[in-house]
A and B are shown apart, each in its own frame.
Chain A
């Protein structure tokens, strides 16, 4: 607690942070560049200067950088002081000496922090009359455009990319007034978090190349509060739309989940929404050809099929909303509803859910992961399966610097000093996975083994922590020593953490991770667990009582049925023969927003809404229900587009004219029908929520050209689409943030506040800058940890004994393993070529050279892939990249036979 005096006013503040952060939290504006709430202070730009006084009587004072000055009790400062104001304006004039003033053609314009700060300081008169330095730009790959002339050398890009995200291929070159931020040479930025450069850069040096192709100013886009569906983390996003297309994804701040940063898969993977080959009309298959039909006829056709007397089976999807899955369950009946997941995925997800709600270990969020001081990653390549967690994990490792700073009495927000003090010392992170990961660089030790052996290591660690947990027989000395070492590190920590998940497809791994987290509880109540699950709504589906996909398909194969498949490509989950057998004699009705292989076989295909065209709820890996809201109405620009949420189609199918009016009604019924969903409706305010009688506008108040937007179709401007499902209004009418009235954090469509057009505007929505959003970070926890520990898991698996056949280990890819993002053209450029990974020993035994083709027989399928001989892979294992072209759906742990040759 500290009392500070700013321009004669007294404030009571927390104290301990820096004056810039304190003042911003108080709602006082001080311009800044190099400081960032997640990157802390380095004092480079000198923009945040204020006058500091010794005491209330000191009239002279001295200029200090507020970001570098601690907030201590009895601090006296002035932001309004004339000399400070003049200095701050001068700093802008210095930055402008080399800035090209190209705002009209710059894609940062309108959400540019440099523009905002220039206006804030009042700098409007150019006094510099000499030449400007210029730079050559680089080709940085499909995501990021580079325009170095705009650079103001704030160093944020390298501080984010290298220091925060662990990148190695972006650097700062040159010196003096010729400082260059780029790669050593042209080439794709390698980091999985490169997209954050577009938001971290305060001006237009790094801009979103995927947006560039269909560029729209921020103020001309329509936004919605949305949830990324590219993995199970549930990062909050803010998609921006114009003319019926998603044009960009921006980060939507969430204090506990994504904070300020997204992964590239989430940010740039939206292209599936805009694909030309998406089903946008109702399609009915006649004589092998698909024809568009109107809704009434199609729904009648489908109703006839449903009532034809054949069993009706519903196949839901972990990438569809709770509402759509629920509506399907209603349509087909509980007994005929499948969760659409393979038996293995469903069982593993269910196991994760059990661990979270039957055990006492709390589920970690990315923000709590950052505070962990010893971490074991068991089996999960989180950079591929739940990328935002990997970024948080990196901060956990670097948390060592905070401890060391405290010892040296240096505030930990002194980012450069923290780096100087900690050097390369990190908190212990142990990475035990089947194959190398791209975060091995922060590992105190890595361990490579097949899933059963990873589980054995995990059980041994748990046993070392609590002797009453099951021991592991016959562990080799090296692994036993490692288990002791990891157990000791976890024990020595204050906030130990175990990260695991469904990624290596083995229940024993998850069970071992649970045992460790539970064994720690007695001595470490703060010990947490984090379990990544396969998809954006996997946990949601686990809350439904449902059969798995194999069971549903077996029923359809045994008896001709009507299959209603919601947003699920069955061919991506199970071997084609198995799917074909089920579909051969069945009637297939598909609801999807992508023309998947399954959709192409449908007798009737209903165009479902993607996340951008519909509302719904997703439940993330923690069991947090979060609502996403429709970004735009595609029919506004094209009346022939019949896209609607799957739940809406299903409701109309079932109830016809008596269909429910809006999402709230669906949610209310789902809550009533499924006790596990209790509370889900509270994830966001309902459709009747109003502020002073008004809805919340999706578009910024300055959105322009609405009158002309449809003029090429018809001169008459129709009424904006009315949204019955939410408290949000399409277009710019409604509460937009200009009035200073807080909107609920779940309903913030975009970051904007008066004077703050850039993503830095999030400062204006937080209770404390960098902390939780005012009103609380969005989401409702449907899953809560238990008070006491259940019995330890005890099914310690046997060690893998190579016996000729190879055990399949799925290798998840950041780009390529996730279905929807892989449909986006820029992502496709980053998907690696397919391969099959072999250990050096197995390759030698099989006589296979690197890059040579090998033939693989697996679960009755035979296919061929080029071999990649990898020194990191353990013996007896075949690593197959999930989801890549030429790699069929995999069952982890299957035995594969491999032979040389195609």
Chain B
């Protein structure tokens, strides 16, 4: 049997080089034959925990969960030393961002890669216990991860005194109960503790007081999966994986969903353009339709337009264009799809997934949904668009307890910005058919209706 890594001789696709979806994931033996767990051996045998941290920091690995926070800096905030006590490493595998399915691929097809990555990362922060907080519906991933963990434990790669050294690390898979908010790291921690999945107030940040009140690092699946490769090949190699397309380091799991010919997920150099994703990898728009708008990386990112397709997909460039790269898995909207319906669909999701803790999110999102439904059904009222615009402000950053509602407002605000006419179509003139001479104004507007106003309304 030929080695899977042979298809990537230059080590340009570290995350997926061992993936063969037809053949399925490698077991421990196969994985080790491909160089698996070499990074863990190297770390434990040759490197101090701080050295591992330093390499990750130097590699400029940024969080792949959506926020792009530098992983090395996150790790450097955790207390180290003999008195640091119990610490935890948590893998955020609660992949519930609509349109996002990259972590699933990595966990189902390369479970040992994540197990090794967690061991290495845990070694770097000297955590004794790790949890993979896994989306409940990822049944296959759960099964494969648990199998990989059992194999690794049996081989002495997890558990007590790993590889004969002084350090011990236990790793567990914890499956979630299906709440989007568990992707928020502090809500995830609450859920892991058996409490309601409400986000926590910060500070304290999890690095100081996280799981069970102890220092905790929460990293995304894709982020962690990069770590062993950085250790084996060095920060410079990692930085150059982007092939000069951008300043952000590494590769990125990109993807396309929506009305594309071949939706999918691919590991590509960081900074690949959305046009390449859509036109080369996803085979262009289905049925020859034109692209109307696209979400760069999940439901909680602002819509961008076809004119933005040539921007490199990295954290800072997409931010400058007025959106966020998010998870990097784009969702495309075709020219004949209603932007109002698309947004209504997204907001229904966000309203349902609110944890119910803070007022603007809990009560503002359902109101937003109801207005959008009214507009979608041609029953919008004068003032509804203004009300939606207000929502985007009142549910924005700093107004709410966490980033859930601000994220929900991103597609809404950009949809209004770019496609206001589609919203206006849904607003009816508020004339009561039974009393055509009475103009019913939406609540809140001063009643100064005159005959001339009425005539104007009728004329329009």
Do A and B come from the same complex? yes
Give Cα distance in the complex from A128 to B374, angstroms. 12
With A42-B201, A94-B367, A130-B367 known as contacts, the answer to whether A176 contacts B352 (CB < 8 A) is yes
Query: Is residue B224 contacting chain A, with contact meaning CB distance below 8 A?
Result: no
Stretch of A416-424, A662-670, A818-826, A866-874 with 4 or more beta carbons under 8 angstroms from chain B: A416-424
| Bitwise interface map of A from 23 to 45 toward B, beta carbon under 8 Å scored 1, else 0 | 00000000000000000001111
Across the interface, do B366 and A43 meet the contact criterion of CB distance under 8 Å? no
Residues of A within 8 A of B390 (CB): 90
For the complex, would chain B's binding face be called helix, strand, loop or mixed by DSSP majority?
loop
In the complex, which residues of chain B have a beta carbon less than 8 angstroms from the beta carbon of A177? 351, 354, 356, 362-363, 365-366
Residue of B200, B363, B390 contacting most chain A CB atoms (<10 Å): B363
Binds A, one of B208-216, B320-328, B431-439: B208-216
Shortest beta-carbon distance from A40 to chain B in Å: 11
A49–B212 CA distance with the chains assembled, in angstroms:
31
Task: Select which of A44, A129, A152, A425 is within 8 A of B381 by beta carbon.
Answer: A129
Tally of contacts, chain A with chain B, CB under 8 A: 114
Is residue A799 within 8 Å, beta carbon to beta carbon, of the partner chain?
Answer: no
Find out whether the CB atom of A94 lies under 8 angstroms from the CB atom of B399.
no
Complex CA distance for A404 and B442, rounded to whole angstroms? 53
Please give, as numbers and ranges, the residues of chain B lying within 8 Å of A423 by CB-CB distance.
Answer: 212-213
Is the Cβ of A417 less than 8 Å from the Cβ of B367?
no
Given A94-B360, A420-B204; A49-B381 close (CB under 8 Å) = no
Instruction: Enumerate B182-205 residues with CB–CB distance to A below 8 Å.
Output: 196, 200-201, 203-204
CB pair B443 A126 closer than 8 Å: yes
Stretch at the interface among A62-70, A321-329, A452-460: A62-70
A residues near B124, Cβ cutoff 8 Å: none
Q: How far is the CB of B331 from chain A (nearest CB, A)?
A: 23
Contacts of A408 in B (CB 8 A): 204, 208-209
Q: Is the CB of A125 within 8 A of B356?
A: no
Chain B residues 358 to 405 lying within 8 A of chain A, measured CB to CB, are: 358-360, 362-367, 370, 374, 381, 383, 387, 390, 394, 398-401
Contacts A44-B357, A179-B356; A90 near B394 (Cβ below 8 A): yes
- When distances are taken between beta carbons in the complex, the residues of chain B under 8 Å from A64 are 398
Chain B residue nearest to A33 in the complex (CB): B359
Name B201's contact: one of A128, A155, A416 (CB within 8 Å).
A416
Q: Say yes or no: A153-B359 contact (C-beta < 8 A), given A90-B394, A410-B203, A420-B204.
A: yes
CA distance A90 to B360 in the complex (A): 9
Are the CB atoms of A46 and B363 closer together than 8 Å?
Answer: no
A42 to chain B: which residues have CB within 8 Å?
Answer: 201
- The residues of A that contact B201 with a CB separation of less than 8 Å are 42-43, 68, 414, 416-417
**Closest CB-CB distance, A62 to chain B, in whole Å?**
6
Are B363's CB and A417's CB within 8 A? no
Residue-wise interface mask of A (160-185) relative to B, using a CB-CB cutoff of 8 A (1 in contact, 0 not):
00000000000010111111000000
Say yes or no: is A47 at the interface (Cβ < 8 Å to chain B). Answer: yes
Q: For the complex, is B179 an interface residue (Cβ under 8 Å from A)? A: yes
Evaluate contact between B352 and A421: CB separation under 8 angstroms.
no
Residue of B whose beta carbon sits closest to that of A83: B393
Q: How far is the CA of A416 from the CA of B358 in the complex (A)?
A: 13
CB distance from B194 to the nearest CB of A (A): 12
Which residues of chain A are near B394, meaning CB under 8 Å?
Answer: 87, 90
Pick from B196, B212, B359, B387: contact of A127, CB below 8 A: B387
Interface residue? B97 (CB, 8 A): no
Q: Does A344 count as interface, using CB distance less than 8 angstroms?
A: no
Q: Does B444 contact A (CB under 8 A)?
A: yes
Contacts of B179 in A (CB 8 A): 175
CB pair B200–A174 under 8 Å, yes or no, is no
Contacting residue for B356 out of A63, A174, A410, A414, CB 8 A: A174
* Docked-complex contact A49 and B356, CB < 8 angstroms: no
Counting CB contacts under 8 A, is B90 at the interface?
A: no
A43 touches B358 (CB 8 A): yes
For residue B353, CB closer than 8 A to chain A, the reply is: yes
Q: Would you give the shortest CB distance from A65 to chain B, in whole angstroms?
A: 9
Chain A residues with CB under 8 Å of B353's CB are 176
Residue B355 lies at the interface, judged by CB distance under 8 Å to chain A: yes
Instruction: Provide the bound-state CA to CA distance between A753 and B295, in Å.
Output: 53
Q: Is the CB of A179 within 8 A of B213?
A: no
Q: Do residues B401 and A43 form an inter-chain contact, with CB atoms below 8 A?
A: yes
Q: Taking the nearest CB of chain A, how far is it from the CB of B107, in angstroms?
A: 26
Interface residue from B196, B354, B367, B398 paired with A176 (Cβ < 8 Å):
B354
Q: How large is the interface on A (under 10, 10 to 19, 20 to 34, 35 or more residues)?
A: 35 or more
Residues of A within 8 A of B203 (CB): 409-410, 417
Cα–Cα, bound, A155→B356 (Å)? 10
Which secondary structure dominates where chain A touches chain B?
loop
With a cutoff of 8 Å between Cβ atoms, the chain A residues found around residue B213 in the complex are 404, 420-423, 425
In the bound complex, CA of A63 to CA of B381 (Å): 30
Q: Does A98 contact B (CB under 8 A)?
A: yes
Does the CB pair A63–B399 fall under 8 Å? yes
A91 within 8 A of partner (CB): yes
Q: Which chain B residue shows the least CB distance to A417?
A: B201
Beta-carbon contact of A172 and B196 below 8 Å: yes
A414 CA to B365 CA, complexed, in Å = 27
A94-B209 contact, Cβ under 8 Å, with A49-B399, A176-B354: no
* A46 in contact with B443 given A129-B381, A417-B201 (CB within 8 Å): no
A177 to B398, CA, bound (A): 20
Distance between B3 CB and nearest chain A CB, rounded to angstroms:
47
Q: Across the interface, which residues of A come within 8 angstroms of B357, CB to CB?
A: 44, 155
Q: When each residue 382-421 of chain A gets 1 if its CB lies under 8 Å from chain B and 0 otherwise, what string results?
A: 0000000000000000000000100011100010110011
- Which residue of the partner chain, among B196, B208, B399, B444, contacts A125 with CB atoms under 8 Å? B444
Among A62, A94, A152, the residue within 8 A (CB) of B364 is A94
- The answer on a CB contact under 8 Å between A420 and B200 is yes
> Given A63-B398, A87-B394, A129-B381, are A176 and B362 also a contact pair (CB < 8 Å)?
yes
Q: Is A95 an interface residue when CB atoms closer than 8 A count as contact?
A: yes
Please indicate the chain A residues that have their CB under 8 angstroms from the CB of B351 in the complex: 176-177
* Interface assignment of A97: CB less than 8 Å from any CB of chain B: yes
Asked whether A417 lies within 8 Å of B209 as measured between CB atoms, the reply is yes
Please determine whether B204 and A44 come into contact, CB atoms closer than 8 angstroms: no
Min distance, Cβ B394 to any Cβ of chain A, angstroms: 5
CB-contact partner of B359 in A46, A125, A417, under 8 A: A46
Q: Which residues of B contact A47 (CB under 8 A)?
A: 359
Identify B363's interface contact among A87, A98, A409, A416, CB under 8 A: A98
The chain A residue with its CB closest to the CB of B196 is: A172
Closest to A411 in B: B203
Q: How far is the CA of A408 from the CA of B214 in the complex (A)?
A: 11
Question: B442 to nearest A CB, angstroms?
Answer: 8
Q: Which residues of chain A come closer than 8 Å to B204, judged between CB atoms? A: 408, 410, 417, 420-421
Chain A hits for B366, CB < 8 A? 97, 176-177
A62 to B401, CA, bound (A): 15
Please indicate the chain B residues that have their CB under 8 angstroms from the CB of A98 in the complex: 363
A97 nearest in chain B by CB position: B363
A53-71 contacts to B, CB under 8 A, are: 62-64, 68
Task: Output the nearest chain A residue to B363 by Cβ-Cβ distance.
Answer: A94
User: Smallest CB–CB gap between A665 and chain B, Å?
Assistant: 57
Residues of B within 8 A of A97 (CB): 363, 366-367
Q: Mark B43-55, 1 if CB is under 8 A from A, else 0.
A: 0000000000000
A732–B358 alpha-carbon span in the complex (Å):
41
Bound-state Cα–Cα, A491 to B178, Å: 49
Could you list some 27 contacts between A and B, CB below 8 A? Answer: A43-B401, A46-B358, A49-B399, A63-B398, A63-B399, A90-B390, A94-B359, A97-B366, A97-B367, A128-B367, A153-B362, A175-B179, A175-B356, A176-B355, A176-B356, A177-B356, A177-B362, A177-B365, A177-B366, A178-B356, A179-B362, A408-B208, A409-B203, A417-B200, A417-B204, A423-B212, A423-B213
Q: What would 8 more interface pairs be, CB under 8 Å, given A63-B398, A422-B213?
A: A49-B399, A68-B201, A91-B360, A97-B366, A152-B359, A175-B179, A177-B354, A416-B201
Interface residues of A (CB under 8 A from B): 42-47, 49, 62-64, 68, 87, 90-91, 94-95, 97-98, 125-130, 152-153, 155, 172, 174-179, 404, 408-410, 414, 416-417, 420-423, 425
Going nearest first, the 4 A-B pairs with the smallest beta carbon separation are A94-B363, A179-B356, A130-B370, A423-B213
